Structure 1
Amino acid sequence: MKEYEVIWEIFNKCPRNQMRDVFVEEIEIEDPEEYVKKKFQGKDVSYEKTVLEDGTVIFDIETSGIKQRCSFTEF
C-alpha cells in the first residue's frame, strides 16, 4: 500500500460563484484509479487521468454534469 494526500475539488456550477468545495485527506491505497472508480461507483461518470512530472496523479472527473478533480500526491 502507498500513502497519498488526496485533494478532492468540486467546482461550483453557478456562473457568479467561482468558489469550489475542497476536501483534503490522507489515505493508504494501492491504486488511485481504483479509488476514483469506487468513489463514483454507480454514477454516470467520465474522467481523464494526468500524471505530472513530480508523480502527482490528477483525475478530472465529470459526474451528473458536475466537474470535479481528485489529485493524489504520494508521501
Structure 2
Amino acid sequence: MKEYEVIWEIFNKCPRNQMRDVFVEEIEIEDPEAYIREKFKGKKVSYEQTILADGTIIFDIVTSEIKQRCSFTEI
C-alpha cells in the first residue's frame, strides 16, 4: 500500500462566489482510482484522470452537475 495526501475540492456553482470547499487527509490505499469509484459509489459520476510530472494523480470529477477534484500526492 502507498500513503497519499489527498486534497478534495468541491467547486461552488455560484458565479459570484469563487470559494470552494477543500478537505485534506492522509490515507493508505493501493489504487487511487478504486478509491474514487468507492467514494462516489451509487452515484452517476464521470471523471478524467491526469498524472503530473511529479507523480501527483488528479481526478477531475463531475457528479450531480457539481465539479470536484481529488489530487493524490504520494507521501
Structure-2-length-normalised TM-score: 0.99
Structure 1 residue runs of 4+, over 2 Å off? none
Uncovered stretches (5+) of structure 2, i.e. residues with no partner: none
In angstroms, what is the RMSD of aligned CA positions? 0.3
Report the CA distance between 1:32 and its aligned residue.
0.2
- Correspondence for 1:49: 49
Deviations 1:21-63 (A, max 9, x none): 0000000000000000000000010000000000000000000
Aligned residues: 75
Distance 2:15 2:56 in 1: 29
Q: How much identity, in percent, do the aligned residues show?
A: 83
Secondary structure, counterpart of 2:18 in structure 1: coil
Secondary structure, counterpart of 2:54 in structure 1: coil
Tell me which amino acid in the other structure corresponds to 1:11.
Answer: F
Uncovered stretches (5+) of structure 1, i.e. residues with no partner: none
- Correspondence for 2:65: 65
Distance 2:45 2:5 in 1: 23
- Correspondence for 1:32: 32
